[in-house]
Structure 1
Amino acid sequence: MKEKTIRDKLKDRELKVFTTAFLLFLFMAALVGMAQDGQNPATVFRGLWTIIISRDALITDYFELAGYGTALLNACLVLTMGLFLLHREQVKFTGLTMAAVFIYVGYGFWGKNPVNILPILAGSSLYAKLHGSRLSRYLYTALFGTSLSPLITELVYLLPFDWKINLLISIGAGISIGFILPELSVHTASMHMGFNLFNVGFSAGTLAFVMVCILKSFGLESQPAMIWRAGRPLWIGAGLYIFFLLTFLYGLYLNQGKVKDLLKIWKHPGRAVADFVLMEGVGGTLMNMALVGSICVTYIYLIGGDLSGPVVGAILTAFGFSAFGAHVRNYWPILCGVFLSTFLNQFTPTTPGIQLAAIFAVGLAPIAGRFGVVAGILAGMLHVAIVMCTSQMYGGLNLYNNGFSAGWVAIIMLPALESFMLEKDKKKKRKNENV
């Protein structure tokens, strides 16, 4: 009998091995961060407790709040919980899994912790049970839906009752969010027709807006935060580049040294549902993810931006969604649009919100993929204008502010773009008939 090669043994388990390896990589980065900060187990434990009990409204950078090592360890704990659920529910790992996992863990650097995500996960689990289904059917929505986890912590501080009553109400609110989002996200997807990759971010933003309006009607109003770690530590930048290089080499190995699947991915417009793992395979998808991630880091260095917790989380999000709709060709026009907008408006490329908008604008990549470079640039520019206003709508309580804004960009632009393309196709058809 022919002995199985390593590649044969990895068959159908490539992404499970990859995410487990990333968890170990993240843990090693946490150890490096602890050494950089001079932290010991006692200070790390206190840092984790600080993360759990602190307000998490936008923008709360855990690098600044608790230190690099503690923030990375918090992300490890959040990721461990997500991977445990994925394995327990026997979910098949695809491009959507990569998108869900990396946006989920990315916010472990700013806004999510192992405690405030639990009520939302419990709400989705309850929804599944009441509908006679396994959690696996709604697990992706549950992971994406933890974007509203800051609301759980905020209610404990915001409500005027005893803290125990506040805690019970906040847990109930979290369960309600997890229960509502599965149905709501189905309906919002039809509004932007798959041109916003962050669909649950859009539905979560809509739900957050309603909940904040209810709170305001009772005279309760949350205030956004601004806790931000400036600077670009060499070890973080080097760590990201090394991780993306290893990802590319792993994908190249799985593809037996060929890049044809990567080139095929670049031909797709990216409109959801565009699961590159199912369409072109794991190897090409991982190479694409590595390239997009590297572009994001390089952009931050070129503009003199910050490798803060939120920016690193955004980069991991773009990395994950490069398995589910985004690639080099349909992302760069959007990124250019965000950058060019800063020459016309009051912001600079290094404004914290603009740094995040540039990376998170990856959610609009399908617009450039379907309608071209000019449309992509315009989408990036419009995204900046909207995203800098929307966070005020819900007091910083929706972590996926960019996903909510991207949804509105798609809704506003699509009618005009579709009409233009339709007229263009008609003219082309008439021209061909005349020939």
Structure 2
Amino acid sequence: MKLLHVLALLLHGPIWGFHLPKVVARPDPPVSSPIVSPISPNLASMAIFSPGTQVGSEDHHQMDPNKKLLIALIVASTALGSIILSLLCLWICHRKNSLKSNKKNEYSSDSLKGLSLAPFMGKYNSLRMSCRKGAVSLMDYKSLETATVNFQESNILGVGGFGCVYKARLDDNIFVAVKRLNCGSQDAITEFETEVDLLSKIQHPNIISLLGYSIDGDARLLVYELMPNGSLETQLHGPSRGSALTWHLRMKIALDIARGLEYLHEHCNPPVIHRDLKSSNILLDSDFNAKLSDFGLAVTDGTQNKNNIKLSGTLGYVAPEYLLDGKLTDKSDVYAYGVVLLELLLGRKPVEKLAQAQCRSIVTWAMPQLTDRSKLPKIVDKTIRNTMDLKHLYQVAAVAVLCVQPEPSYRPLITDVLHSLIPLVPVELGGTLRVTQPGAPVGTVLPSTP
């Protein structure tokens, strides 16, 4: 509407307001404005090529008044046309930018539907979304604080390097996990931003879903789907000592982890290296489906950026080439995966204390026995000992040995690991192994059919 008012004033304003003799006698210098720049060349050209106009000539004052009026009208009309054309072009550009902005907003709105956040967010009203970052919702801090009962200690699900994870109850008794980070350091802030950025783009059945985040001063909150069976670390090394994890469930968990890693390494562009894969970062839902979590240390395209990456990770899971030389590739994740596989097989922690100042790595302790078929069955976790086909046990041990090789080039790709494990997992758990047969004793594992 402002543009129309300007045009109306220009169309109805007095023609003699342009003071043409001044413009012709002393041309204005070039101007960068898109509105003014077309005017000066037109006026100058009209002054040069218009018949009967000679700048600086004495005959100029003796010219016929009708000719002078005609020239003035022609020049003024040309100038006015240039101004109108410039304003029209400016309006068209502004209109196009507005349309692009609207389309971009529509795209962002559509991308939110892909994460299925709308049905989830619709179930509770206490978490008001004030803005968006990527495809993850910014949630109300006070509402999350209330949902965790002011971060009550009894609601703590786990403790991490920069804070705790709390169980939170939202409206309609919907439960989520809320990680509270104390972002007093730059490292904590960087991890928070990395987590939000990556998980807003990643969607896979074996990778944890980030539902939202919140910021309040130095505090940062991350809201995830709740995993009722906690972490693999708690299941294996907690009070139950792995009693809930049968051989088949352990193989299913190993397969789920491999699928999650394969997605990061092979299907993300650029590839993602988790960099902190460990049993405490593998979460289990109510059906013991495993999901990778904690992407604060994850990096993209680590091979090219290895010189700029700060050494990080957890003792016992860090690959030797990364620990000693800072060389980071997807094979670093494969090494950590091999350590987790040994935890599932042996029921031991990655690093065990022998004395006050002495520790022993599970890799160092197990390697000589993993390749000895007579010793291997004796070091398997007591909870699952003698419950599996020995051929399957040897095969899994061989995969673990390859994954923890000191030389990265000797380690397999995670895709190869995935294909090695699929035949060892029952069909009903996501593999191809046929284990049910009428009359077979409970716990009997039958070889897979070719």
Band of TM-score, shorter chain: under 0.3
Higher helix share: 1
**Higher relative CO (CA 8 A, sep ≥ 6), structure 1 or 2?**
1
The TM-score with structure 1 as length reference comes to 0.27
